[in-house]
Amino acid sequence: MISGLSQTARQTFHHDIRSAMLFGIFGGMILPFIAIIGRKIGATDFQIALLTAAPFIANIFALFWTEDIFGKGRIWYVVWPGAIGRGLLLGMFFVAAPFYYTLLIFIYLIITAIPFPSYAFVMKANYPDSQRGRLMSYVRIGNTGLWIVTSAISGWILQKGTDYYHYIFPVAAIFGVLSALEFGRIKMSCEVEKVRKCDNDRELMVSLSNLAAPFKNKTFRQFLTSYSFFEFGLLLSIPIFPIVLVDEVHIPNLVAGIYGSIVSAFGLAGFFFWGYFTDRHTEKRVFSAISLIGGCIPLIYLLSRDLWVLGAAHAAAGLTYAGMELIGYVVITRMSSNSEVPRYMAVYIALGGLRGGIAPFLGTALKSAFGASIVFGLSLFLIFLGFISAVRNKPERV
């Protein structure tokens, strides 16, 4: 299949998969441990909530990067924010206090949200429509394979001492920077100085004055209502998971690494499963399935503190996160025309940012007042409301 691609698509795939594999090493060494390590070195409930909320808060700011506002070309927005944000984690060699640990991670998460719109543009511009999904699947496999291995190895090292994060995080940061620089070797199929005139780029431009238009679509409003119940409920409990794992379960770092590998493995499986499932079912049925699996996560935490049983919750999390990553694109592309996609996506991202900026803090506040089980119960209830709301919606296509 690769040999049949254009020169631009071939060189893009070559650098894209190498970048993804380097990122897999980086991600596997750091991301499964951020909240666990933070809690073990003394991070407060609020700081754990802040780490959970950061990517969602960053998504609101990501709306500003839908255009090439500096005139640098799309590759620039992927490479330098990625390199700088990940490079900041070299500072973990010196960080011991939970405040500075949280601050550094928060800044990293905010900066590294900048590449998202431009990465999507590069994939759209350089990969052919008929093969884009398959090529990105191959990239995902390369990324996830190394992520699974490095998560387990990093957990084994951290098991010897939590303070080893002083060394693991900076080493991982080097791979993260190399990943960004490798992506920078991709050449765009349209000239950088003419990027605003490129058809693909023009489709991504968003006029803030037109963001109200998607709300006129009844089916999209119904989806937003159902999804908001679901995601808000899940986000209530996400910061509570690492708090419970550290404070109540006393999770070994080795097991935290294994959990990271489980999430990645089931996320990869979910990526293919949901792709197959969405091709054969309505968006209503897809969302209903995602919400049912997602509801298993707080349900398991509500019923058990056994490490083996909680492993099943992380398997469900991998499947759920993969579905959540896909569902927005599926719904929006089915409900809108090509010219409307940027508006719908902007609304979807912005509302997700609002949910993510509120729910984690509310969850930790409720946990402090009433206990973790109440949060898990409320989370499960809201997810169930999202499921019921979706089931009751009448199918309607635009």
How does pLDDT run across 31-48, given as a tens digit for each residue?
A: 999 999 999 999 999 999
Which residue, among 132, 138, 186, 142, has the nearest Cα to 27 in the 3D structure? 142
Where does the pLDDT of residue 122 fall: very low under 50, low under 70, confident under 90, or very high at 90 and above?
confident
Cβ(151)–Cβ(30) below 8 Å: no
3-state secondary structure of 191: coil
Cα–Cα distance between 35 and 241 in angstroms, integer? 9
pTM metric for this prediction: 0.84
* 208-398 CATH: 1.20.1250.20
Q: Please provide the size of the chain in residues.
A: 398
Max avg pLDDT among 132-141, 253-262, 273-282: 253-262
Q: Which of 128-142, 285-299, 300-314 has the lowest mean pLDDT?
A: 128-142
Helix (H) or strand (E) holding 327: helix 307-335
Could you tell me which of 233, 273, 223 has the C-alpha nearest to residue 391?
223
Give the integer Cα–Cα distance in Å for 185 and 344: 31
The per-residue pLDDT for range 358-367, each reduced to its tens digit, is 999 999 999 9
**DSSP code at position 343:** H
Q: Report the alpha-carbon distance of residue 23 to residue 119 in Å, rounded.
A: 14
- 20 closest CA partner among 136, 174, 155: 136
Tokens of 240: 């509570």
Angle between helices 7-30 and 165-183 (to 10 degrees): 170
Residue 214, number of CB atoms within 10 A of its CB: 20
> Would you say the CATH fold of 208-398 matches that of 1-205?
yes
CA-closest candidate to residue 351, choices 117, 59, 106: 59
* Calpha distance 159→150 (Å, rounded): 14
| pLDDT of 133 strictly over 80 | no
Cα separation, 203 vs 89, whole angstroms: 35
**pLDDT for res 63:** 65
Beta strands per DSSP E along the chain: none
Q: Which whole number is the average pLDDT over 132-145?
A: 82
Q: Please give the pLDDT value at position 38.
A: 95
Helix (H) or strand (E) holding 187: none
**C-alpha R_g of the chain:** 21
Instruction: For 154-211, write each residue's pLDDT tens digit.
Output: 999 999 999 999 999 999 999 999 999 999 998 876 544 344 444 444 444 444 555 6
CATH superfamily of 1-205: MFS general substrate transporter like domains (1.20.1250.20)
- Please tell me the chain's helix, strand, coil percentages from 3-state DSSP, rounded to the nearest 5: 85, 0, 15
**Average pLDDT value for residue range 279-307:** 91
For the chain, give the longest Cα–Cα distance: 60
The span from the CA of 117 to the CA of 278, in Å, is 23
Mean pLDDT over each residue of the chain, to the nearest integer? 85
pLDDT of residue 200: 46
Whether the pLDDT of residue 395 is over 60: the answer is no
With contact defined as beta carbons under 8 Å apart, do 141 and 268 qualify?
Answer: yes
Measured torsion, CA atoms of residues 154, 157, 158, 161, in degrees rounded to the nearest 10: -170
Query: CB–CB of 346/63 below 8 Å?
Result: yes
Using the predicted structure, report yes or no on whether residue 77 has a pLDDT greater than 50.
Answer: yes
Contact present, 277 and 286 (Cβ < 8 Å): yes
Percentage of residues in the chain having pLDDT higher than 90 = 53
Residues 6+ apart with CB under 8 A from 4: none
Judging by beta carbons within 10 Å of its beta carbon (0-12, 13-18, 19+), is residue 354 exposed, middle or buried?
middle
Question: Averaging pLDDT over each range in 105-109, 141-145, 273-277, 334-338, which range is the top one?
Answer: 105-109
pLDDT digits 0-9 by tens, 216-229: 778 788 888 999 99
Domain ranges of the chain: 1-205, 208-398
